[in-house]
Amino acid sequence: MFGWINDCVECLVLTQHGPEAWHKIKEKANCNTPDGGFLRYKYYHDKETVDLVVAASEVLGASVDDVLYAFGDFFIFYVRDNGYSSVLECLGGNLRDWLSNLNSLHDQLQAAYPEGFVAPVFWSEDDDEEEGAILVHYHSRRGSLLVPLVVGLIKRVATDYFDIDIKMDQLQLQDADGAKNTSWRVTTVDPEMVHKIRGKKRLGDKHNNNGGGPSDDQTFSTAQSTNYNATFKEGNRQASYLRVEEFVKRSFYNDNSELFHALTVEHYLYLVDYWKQTKINDKWCFEIWSIQDGDPKSWAALADLPPKLNPKTIESVHFGGKTPKTGAFPPTEDGTLQSFPPKLRVNNVSSGKFIDLTVPVSETATLEEAFYTNPQVDEAKVKEFPPEIEEEIKNNEVEIQCVIWDERKKESFHTFVLSDLSTTTTKQLFDLVPVSFDPIVINVQTAKVLTVDDDEEDI
């Protein structure tokens, strides 16, 4: 499978269960990929993905089917967050059309995927045996392996895009009793919402509709065909952009590449943007170099960089005069990117004051030393609160918390109280948060102190 599934598994576990659970799952699955290291357009053996799912089942105490269902439910959020929101919204005016149009989306995106991409096939139709129902069919070269994932995905689509709750009754399972596909009868929990599953008949003489005339939604979709095709084209471009990002990222990480640790963050960001906008002999960068592990010739080299980055043509006025050069930064034993500064952004939510700090990734340096008692933080007055909040802190009505914040998803990775900072190392913090070129954001804020009455039972 391509790395979309593996990366989604990691995102789901980190989001809902935290890094400790994820590390246990990786250990049980014998997975050596670093946190945040799955590449969406790299092919991984099915066994690697299955091992992760089975390990997640054991660590989380859920059945394999339940784990796959949860991944399917989460996959829509994941794909939407990775640039495909507008594409998903344009797939159809009802659930039947939406699912049938998945094949068109896969066809449009095929060119942007590496060789070996074989998409599953979906098709749906009105159910002649039960009024208001549709039949949904799914075929995969992997048989019924991912059927629970598909169920979770379809139910999430129904909820998020059509605001309906649905029931899915499985009629057959691929490869069972010779069945060539898996099929479900899909109905709405609320009969008044049938039109969101299969569309409305056009207004007019009801007898004229018996011939299978187009629905309101079909007519609407036809009128939007230009926008529909444009959205698919945009999705194809987005897929190519994501592959460019991963191409450069793999060069940045892999010691097969001459670019390994050769770039500063500024170099890296420029190169990603350049190769998104500029093709080489009308080909994307990922079409020029196949980046095979163990074959340095299949990777881009320093001489292949664009003029603004090429060591022979780079001008000293660019990038602070820093030239891309393999090993330009001291290598680290844990394999952390040499040109990746371990930065924290300490931000006071109340005052808006913040400071960026470069801190060591250490098993001995604590968060208290790294930022909370750091003189630079005091000088920037990041820990100062408005007088009314300072009074509440003094009276023990509120406590200070340090929230490790995911700015992209607008949610927290973890919340520390002040007493935690002296027992948590900076390495533990950097292990907690997926690798990124952005600073790790620590929001310093207050929360009401929870009190428990003496006669309340501690659960």
How many Å apart are CA 190 and CA 126, to the nearest integer?
Answer: 17
- Average pLDDT for residues 357-377, to the nearest whole number? 88
Q: What is the torsional sign of CA 374, 375, 381, 383?
A: positive
Beta carbons of 230 and 224 less than 8 angstroms apart: no
At residue 154, the pLDDT reads 95
- Looking at per-residue pLDDT, the higher value among 86 and 142 belongs to 142
Give the mean model confidence (pLDDT) for residues 155-171. 93
> Among 164, 170, 198, which residue's Cα sits nearest to residue 96?
198
The answer to whether the beta carbons of residues 182 and 134 sit under 8 Å apart is no
pLDDT at position 4 over 50? yes
105 CA to centre of own chain: 19
Confidence grade of residue 262 (pLDDT, cut at 50, 70, 90): confident
Neighbour count for residue 388 (Cβ, 10 Å): 8
The amino acid present at 47, given as its one-letter code, is K
Classify residue 75 as exposed, middle or buried by CB count within 10 Å of its CB (0-12, 13-18, 19+).
Answer: buried
pLDDT exceeds 50 at position 385: yes
pLDDT in tens, 322-341: 777 664 333 334 434 444 45
**Section 109-134 average pLDDT:** 76
pLDDT computed for residue 260 by the predictor? 74
pLDDT score for 24: 94
What's the chain's average pLDDT?
79
Q: State how far Cα 255 lies from the chain centre.
A: 25
147 falls in which pLDDT band (50, 70, 90)? very high
Look at residue 236 in the predicted model and tell me its pLDDT: 61
Average pLDDT over residues 158-184: 93
Convert 100-115 to b/e letters by CB count within 10 Å (16 or more is b). Answer: bbbeebbebbeebbee
Structure tokens at 278: 């500029």
Q: Residue ranges of the domains in the chain?
A: 1-62, 343-448
Q: Mean pLDDT over residues 349-376, rounded?
A: 88
CB-CB contact of 368 with 422 (8 Å): yes
**Range list of H helices, 61-131:** 64-79, 85-89, 95-100, 102-109
Residues constituting the chain: 459
pLDDT at residue 273 above 50? yes
Tens digit of pLDDT for each residue in 59-90? 999 999 999 999 999 988 888 877 677 777 77
With CA atoms as reference, report the closest residue to 196 among 169, 216, 210, 214: 216
Query: What pLDDT is recorded for position 201?
Result: 42
Q: Which residue has the higher pLDDT, 293 or 62?
A: 62
- 205 to each of 157, 202, 279, 391, 403, how far by Cα in Å? 33, 9, 56, 73, 62
Contacts of 243 (CB under 8 A, 6+ apart): 41, 112, 284, 286
The CATH classification of domain 343-448, taken from the options 3.10.20, 3.20.20, 1.10.760, 1.10.3470? 3.10.20
Average pLDDT of 391-417?
87
Q: What is the largest CA-CA distance in the chain?
A: 81
Percentage of the chain modeled with pLDDT above 70: 77
Tell me what pLDDT residue 292 has.
74
Q: Count the alpha carbons within 13 Å of 163 in the hemisphere toward its beta carbon.
A: 3
Least confident piece of the model among 91-100, 196-205, 297-306, 440-449: 196-205
**More reliable by pLDDT, 224 or 27:** 27
pLDDT at position 93, please? 84
pLDDT category at 257 given cuts 50, 70, 90 is confident
Distance CA 170, CA 73 (A): 18
Compute the distance between CA of residue 274 and CA of residue 259 in angstroms, rounded to an integer: 16
> Given pLDDT bands bounded at 50, 70 and 90, which one contains residue 443?
very high
Residue found by looking up tokens 């090993």 in the block: 327
C-alpha dihedral sign at 416, 422, 428, 430: positive
Closest by Cα among 35, 451, 182 to 168: 182
Query: In sequence order, what are the beta bridge partners of 414?
Result: 404
42 Rama class: left (phi>0) / alpha (psi -120 to 50) / beta: beta
With vertex at residue 416, the alpha carbon angle to CA 413 and CA 421, rounded to the nearest 5 degrees, is: 125
**Spatial separation of the C-alpha atoms in residues 36 and 249, rounded to whole Å:** 11
CB 31 within 8 A of CB 64: no
Residue that wins the pLDDT comparison between 123 and 250: 123
Digit-coded pLDDT (tens) for 226-243: 444 555 555 567 667 777
* Mean pLDDT of all residues in 180-188: 94
More confident residue, 276 or 455: 276
